[in-house]
Amino acid sequence: MTQHFPPEGGAHAGRWSWLSRELLAKGHSLDVVVPRWGHHPERQSDTSGLRIREVRALVPGLGLHRRLMNEAVTGAQTLLAALRSSRPDVVLTTVPALTSLPVGWLVAKLRRLPLVVELRDAWPHLFADVEHWNDDGTHELPPPPFSNALTPTLTGWYWGMLRDASAIVTTTESLAQDLRGHGMRQVRVARNIATPDDPLPPVDDHDGLNVLYMGVMGRAQRLAVAIDAAALLKESDTPVRLRIVGRGAHSHSLHTYAARKGVDVEWIDQVPKPETRAHLEWADTVLVCLRRWHGMELTVPSKLYDIMVVQRHVSASLEGETAEIVRQSGAGDVVPPEDPEALARLWRDLAGDRSRLRVGSAARDWVLTHGSALLHAAEVEAACEVASARPGVARGEALGRA
């Protein structure tokens, strides 16, 4: 059960593109339940061993309240579809969405099956910052309706469901260690992987700095920090060209905010994966930013690996495991999250000393060493095998269906 699946784009669907390919190649079969978003065509199950059951995402819009409503609706449909499917050996639920874990847990309980949780985001730590989920850094917005009364209950419930899982798969080592510290033992790490690509040529010499952000303009990023930093540099006559490629829940408010601050931003809609290289080649440095939330310290944006593999400089506005990877691999520079003054100082320094934009092969080598699709698919497979062999649970035929 997942929120996104090929042929959709994005990191979530891209992860399942290679995970499903590797699992099917091993002879397993996958029965996938996934919402069909309005702008995506119906998926076809034309691969041997793969069956796709689509449910409809019925509530349009990217606002927080509409998003929560849509997740509730698709979660209910997913539950019904999963209960109607032929009996699998293992239930595997992917958890970026708020309802993914409760639905997966309930399916496993009702069907008396082992549960594997693929935990892509740092739940339930994200509940600690629920009051700021709707804060885009540009104007005040109301928090989620459950933020005050239900947050402690939801946090405790999530920890209970995770402890009840037979196995957990994370995308980062820091989140895995955190879960083990909370008493969970069957935790495996299957990192995201980069799109294989050749290194880019070194940046050209020119005045100013070309700054690229490419990805989701959402709640976890708070991209207003980039606009604030660009505004500060405009006041000091430091020429910085900011290009933002993508879309997300905060797209409209960021457009409005940039206009209000007098910052010229080149806005480009989400592009297919093959077209991202041209934008990376244009860039002198690529911004990767996350909120100042504890949950964000335990995650690594998948875009980081795509930047590192082509050896383009990273401007990292964040903390935690991502910051350590950037520092240790020499992929770029790190400043504190949600600190436009620090980000502006970094960009000013990079514009004044372009030698700092050179990224050596260590960044690319790190990704190639840690980003094997075969290795990480094996971790997911192993988690399913551990779950299906759990005492007291019917194993079926050697994980015939996952």
pLDDT in tens, 151-208: 788 899 999 999 999 999 999 999 999 999 999 989 999 999 988 889 999 998 888 8
- For 35, residues 6+ apart whose C-beta sits below 8 A from its C-beta are 3, 54, 55, 56, 57, 74, 77, 78
Q: What is the mean pLDDT of the chain?
A: 88
* Segment among 2-6, 118-122, 248-252 with least mean pLDDT: 248-252
* Segment among 74-78, 90-94, 183-187, 365-369 with least mean pLDDT: 74-78
The CA angle 31-37-42, to the nearest 5 degrees, is 55
Average pLDDT on 349-373 reads 93
Q: Name the pLDDT band for 402 (thresholds 50, 70, 90).
A: very low
Going from N- to C-terminal start, the domains of the chain cover: 11-193+371-388, 209-367
Average pLDDT on 350-366 reads 95
On the question of a common fold for 11-193+371-388 and 209-367, the answer reads yes
- Structural class in CATH, domain 209-367: alpha beta
193-197: which pairs have CB atoms within 8 A and are 24 or more residues apart? 193/15, 193/18, 193/305, 193/371, 193/372, 193/373, 193/376, 194/305, 194/306, 194/308, 194/309, 194/367, 194/371, 195/14, 195/273, 195/306, 195/309, 196/309, 197/277, 197/306, 197/309, 197/310
CA 79 to chain centre: 23
pLDDT in tens, 246-283: 988 788 889 999 999 999 999 999 898 889 999 999 99
What does the pLDDT read at residue 61? Answer: 62
What does the pLDDT read at residue 130? Answer: 76
Annotation: CATH topology of 11-193+371-388: Rossmann fold (3.40.50)
Q: DSSP letter string over 2-45?
A: -S--TTS-SHHHHHHHHHHHHHHHTT-BEEEEEEE-TTSPPP--
Find tokens 């510290």 and name the residue.
181
What does the pLDDT read at residue 144? Answer: 61
What does the pLDDT read at residue 383? Answer: 93
* Segment among 3-17, 83-97, 136-150 with least mean pLDDT: 136-150
